[in-house]
Amino acid sequence: WVPPPRAQGADFPSAASAWGMPEKEPEDDAFFKLVSCKMPVFLHPSRLGNVKLGVQEQLNAMLLTYAPTLRGVVTAYRGVKILSAKGKIFHGFRHIETPVSADFLVYAPRVGSIVNATINKVSVDFLGGLAQGVFNISISGQGLKGWKYSSGGFSRENKSKNGGLNRIELGTVIDVVVKDVNTE
Protein backbone atom coordinates (compact mmCIF):
# COMPACT_ATOMS: atom_id res chain seq x y z
CA TRP A 1 0.00 0.00 0.00
CA VAL A 2 1.33 3.43 -0.97
CA PRO A 3 -0.58 6.52 0.18
CA PRO A 4 -1.45 9.08 -2.48
CA PRO A 5 0.92 12.04 -2.67
CA ARG A 6 -0.37 14.53 -0.07
CA ALA A 7 1.11 16.83 2.51
CA GLN A 8 1.55 15.33 5.95
CA GLY A 9 -1.71 15.63 7.87
CA ALA A 10 -3.68 16.86 4.85
CA ASP A 11 -7.33 15.99 4.32
CA PHE A 12 -7.61 12.52 2.81
CA PRO A 13 -10.70 12.36 0.55
CA SER A 14 -12.50 9.02 0.49
CA ALA A 15 -10.39 7.88 3.41
CA ALA A 16 -13.18 5.73 4.78
CA SER A 17 -13.51 3.66 1.63
CA ALA A 18 -9.75 3.49 1.07
CA TRP A 19 -9.35 1.94 4.52
CA GLY A 20 -12.25 -0.50 4.13
CA MET A 21 -14.61 1.49 6.35
CA PRO A 22 -18.30 2.01 5.52
CA GLU A 23 -18.84 4.71 2.92
CA LYS A 24 -20.38 7.91 4.34
CA GLU A 25 -21.38 11.27 2.93
CA PRO A 26 -18.42 13.31 1.58
CA GLU A 27 -18.73 16.01 4.27
CA ASP A 28 -18.34 13.35 6.98
CA ASP A 29 -15.29 11.88 5.24
CA ALA A 30 -13.49 15.25 5.39
CA PHE A 31 -12.94 14.67 9.12
CA PHE A 32 -10.59 11.77 8.45
CA LYS A 33 -6.96 12.70 8.03
CA LEU A 34 -3.94 10.62 7.11
CA VAL A 35 -1.08 11.50 9.44
CA SER A 36 2.44 10.15 9.07
CA CYS A 37 4.17 10.15 12.41
CA LYS A 38 7.38 9.12 14.12
CA MET A 39 6.84 8.33 17.78
CA PRO A 40 8.27 6.37 20.67
CA VAL A 41 6.54 3.16 21.74
CA PHE A 42 7.32 1.90 25.23
CA LEU A 43 7.78 -1.86 25.39
CA HIS A 44 7.80 -4.03 28.48
CA PRO A 45 10.97 -6.16 28.67
CA SER A 46 8.82 -9.29 28.19
CA ARG A 47 8.13 -8.11 24.62
CA LEU A 48 11.79 -7.94 23.59
CA GLY A 49 11.62 -11.49 22.24
CA ASN A 50 9.11 -10.26 19.64
CA VAL A 51 9.46 -6.49 19.28
CA LYS A 52 7.15 -6.37 16.26
CA LEU A 53 4.31 -7.95 18.27
CA GLY A 54 5.00 -5.62 21.21
CA VAL A 55 4.80 -2.56 18.94
CA GLN A 56 1.60 -3.88 17.36
CA GLU A 57 0.03 -4.35 20.82
CA GLN A 58 0.92 -0.79 21.81
CA LEU A 59 -0.47 0.67 18.57
CA ASN A 60 -3.64 -1.44 18.87
CA ALA A 61 -4.15 0.06 22.33
CA MET A 62 -4.33 3.48 20.63
CA LEU A 63 -7.26 2.48 18.40
CA LEU A 64 -10.47 4.44 19.04
CA THR A 65 -8.78 6.66 21.60
CA TYR A 66 -7.80 10.31 21.33
CA ALA A 67 -4.10 10.75 20.59
CA PRO A 68 -2.90 14.28 21.48
CA THR A 69 0.16 13.90 19.25
CA LEU A 70 -2.08 13.13 16.26
CA ARG A 71 -4.83 15.59 17.33
CA GLY A 72 -7.65 13.13 16.82
CA VAL A 73 -9.04 9.65 17.40
CA VAL A 74 -6.93 6.87 15.88
CA THR A 75 -9.16 4.68 13.71
CA ALA A 76 -6.51 2.67 11.84
CA TYR A 77 -2.79 2.49 11.17
CA ARG A 78 -0.53 1.07 8.46
CA GLY A 79 3.07 1.02 7.35
CA VAL A 80 4.62 0.46 10.77
CA LYS A 81 8.42 0.62 10.75
CA ILE A 82 10.70 0.05 13.70
CA LEU A 83 13.29 2.79 13.21
CA SER A 84 16.10 1.37 15.32
CA ALA A 85 17.23 -2.06 16.42
CA LYS A 86 18.24 -0.45 19.72
CA GLY A 87 15.90 0.94 22.34
CA LYS A 88 16.50 3.36 25.20
CA ILE A 89 16.18 2.54 28.86
CA PHE A 90 15.75 5.39 31.30
CA HIS A 91 16.72 5.26 34.95
CA GLY A 92 13.75 4.29 37.11
CA PHE A 93 11.57 3.38 34.12
CA ARG A 94 11.22 -0.31 33.30
CA HIS A 95 9.93 0.05 29.73
CA ILE A 96 12.17 0.34 26.68
CA GLU A 97 11.61 3.29 24.36
CA THR A 98 11.45 1.99 20.78
CA PRO A 99 11.19 4.54 17.94
CA VAL A 100 8.62 3.71 15.25
CA SER A 101 6.93 5.41 12.32
CA ALA A 102 3.49 4.70 10.88
CA ASP A 103 0.63 6.19 8.90
CA PHE A 104 -2.45 6.79 11.06
CA LEU A 105 -6.01 7.36 9.91
CA VAL A 106 -7.35 9.90 12.40
CA TYR A 107 -10.89 11.16 12.95
CA ALA A 108 -10.61 14.86 13.82
CA PRO A 109 -13.72 17.04 13.41
CA ARG A 110 -13.07 20.73 13.96
CA VAL A 111 -15.10 23.12 16.10
CA GLY A 112 -17.62 24.84 13.81
CA SER A 113 -17.82 21.96 11.35
CA ILE A 114 -21.03 20.02 10.73
CA VAL A 115 -21.20 16.27 11.36
CA ASN A 116 -23.99 13.89 10.48
CA ALA A 117 -25.24 11.84 13.46
CA THR A 118 -27.87 9.20 14.16
CA ILE A 119 -29.76 9.75 17.43
CA ASN A 120 -29.50 6.77 19.79
CA LYS A 121 -30.44 8.37 23.15
CA VAL A 122 -33.32 10.70 24.01
CA SER A 123 -34.04 12.05 27.49
CA VAL A 124 -35.87 15.07 28.91
CA ASP A 125 -32.89 17.44 28.54
CA PHE A 126 -30.41 15.57 26.36
CA LEU A 127 -29.92 13.98 22.93
CA GLY A 128 -27.13 11.53 22.23
CA GLY A 129 -26.02 10.11 18.93
CA LEU A 130 -23.28 8.54 16.87
CA ALA A 131 -21.26 10.21 14.13
CA GLN A 132 -19.80 7.76 11.61
CA GLY A 133 -21.64 5.05 13.58
CA VAL A 134 -18.85 5.14 16.22
CA PHE A 135 -18.17 8.56 17.75
CA ASN A 136 -20.44 9.91 20.50
CA ILE A 137 -22.13 13.28 20.16
CA SER A 138 -24.30 14.94 22.77
CA ILE A 139 -26.70 17.85 22.59
CA SER A 140 -28.09 19.58 25.66
CA GLY A 141 -28.94 23.03 26.99
CA GLN A 142 -28.65 25.72 24.32
CA GLY A 143 -28.47 23.08 21.60
CA LEU A 144 -32.10 22.19 22.36
CA LYS A 145 -33.42 25.76 22.51
CA GLY A 146 -36.75 25.94 20.67
CA TRP A 147 -37.34 22.19 21.00
CA LYS A 148 -39.79 20.62 23.50
CA TYR A 149 -39.54 17.12 24.94
CA SER A 150 -42.67 15.00 24.53
CA SER A 151 -43.31 11.25 24.47
CA GLY A 152 -39.82 9.95 23.72
CA GLY A 153 -38.61 12.72 21.44
CA PHE A 154 -38.19 16.44 20.85
CA SER A 155 -40.64 18.44 18.76
CA ARG A 156 -40.91 22.03 17.59
CA GLU A 157 -43.38 24.09 15.67
CA ASN A 158 -42.44 24.20 12.00
CA LYS A 159 -41.52 27.79 11.18
CA SER A 160 -39.93 26.95 7.83
CA LYS A 161 -41.81 27.35 4.55
CA ASN A 162 -39.92 24.38 3.11
CA GLY A 163 -41.02 21.93 5.76
CA GLY A 164 -37.92 21.05 7.73
CA LEU A 165 -37.37 18.77 10.68
CA ASN A 166 -40.16 18.90 13.27
CA ARG A 167 -39.39 15.87 15.44
CA ILE A 168 -36.22 14.19 16.67
CA GLU A 169 -36.46 10.67 18.11
CA LEU A 170 -34.44 7.46 18.18
CA GLY A 171 -33.03 6.74 14.74
CA THR A 172 -33.40 10.29 13.41
CA VAL A 173 -30.38 11.42 11.37
CA ILE A 174 -29.44 15.04 12.01
CA ASP A 175 -26.67 17.49 11.16
CA VAL A 176 -24.85 18.76 14.25
CA VAL A 177 -22.55 21.77 14.51
CA VAL A 178 -19.45 20.84 16.53
CA LYS A 179 -19.22 23.24 19.49
CA ASP A 180 -16.55 21.41 21.48
CA VAL A 181 -14.40 18.31 21.13
CA ASN A 182 -14.03 16.36 24.38
CA THR A 183 -10.78 14.43 24.35
CA GLU A 184 -11.29 12.45 27.57
Decide: residue 21, CB within 10 A, 0-12 exposed, 13-18 middle, 19+ buried: middle
Closest residue by Cα to residue 36 from 60, 2, 13: 2
Closest by CA position to 13, among listed 27, 30, 1, 25: 30
Mean pLDDT of 90-109: 91
- Where is mean pLDDT largest: 12-16, 169-173, 176-180? 169-173
- Mean pLDDT rounded to a whole number for the chain: 78
Higher pLDDT, 120 or 167: 120
pLDDT number for residue 165: 64
Q: What is the pLDDT of residues 149-160, one digit of tens each?
A: 777 777 766 555
- pTM of the full predicted structure? 0.69
User: Is the pLDDT reported for residue 113 higher than 90?
Assistant: no
- CB of 109 within 8 A of CB of 115? yes
Between the alpha carbon of residue 73 and those of residues 26, 86, 104, the distances in Å are 19, 29, 10
Instruction: Residue 98: name the closest of 50, 34, 60 by CA.
Output: 50
